Amino acid sequence: LGCEVYMHATSPIRRFADLITQSQLKKLIKKEEPVFSTEDMMHWAEEVSFRQRKYNKAERNITQYWKLRYLQQHLGEIYVAKIRKRLPNNNTEIELLELACVVPAAGLGKNEEGELMLRIDEVGLDPPRIGVHIQTLST
């Protein structure tokens, strides 16, 4: 960029888009010919968006993997979960609130809703899933 000071606080993918935009802006401010054509800018915008979506998906998958590995090490522990939706395969999508972990769960009936206390009985990584048992005050 040729600037004396530059700080980055975003991912490398995002920084690339920032660099392109800043190069264009510098030329515009100096009333010079832009570095990239409109077509080039549209191409790079699409490319960066595509790569950012892939990066975000990979990041979510990695985060979920490590949350599930954590749960594997803590089988039998109790977590507060929120029912999110029923899935067509007799599973239920839940969110373990403490871990902000959304995952399909087996072991719930069709009438459960809202927040529940669940004991984690089993954890699968591929595909991601957990087996649970509802905890009540008496269990």
pLDDT tens for the chain, residues 1 to 139? 566 665 555 555 567 777 888 888 888 899 999 888 889 888 988 888 898 899 899 999 999 999 999 999 999 999 999 999 888 888 889 999 999 999 999 888 777 778 889 999 999 999 999 999 998 865 4
Which residue type occupies 93?
Answer: E
Whether 24 contacts 35, CB under 8 Å: yes
The ranges assigned to domains in the chain are 12-70, 74-135
Q: What is the pTM of this model?
A: 0.69
- Which three-class secondary structure state does DSSP give residue 3? coil
> How far apart, in whole angstroms, are the C-alpha atoms of residue 19 and residue 30?
17
- Strand 128-135 to strand 101-106: parallel, antiparallel, or no bridges (unpaired)? parallel
Topology annotation, domain 74-135: OB fold (Dihydrolipoamide Acetyltransferase, E2P) (2.40.50)
Structure-block tokens of residue 116: 């529940």
Q: Residue 82 has what pLDDT?
A: 93
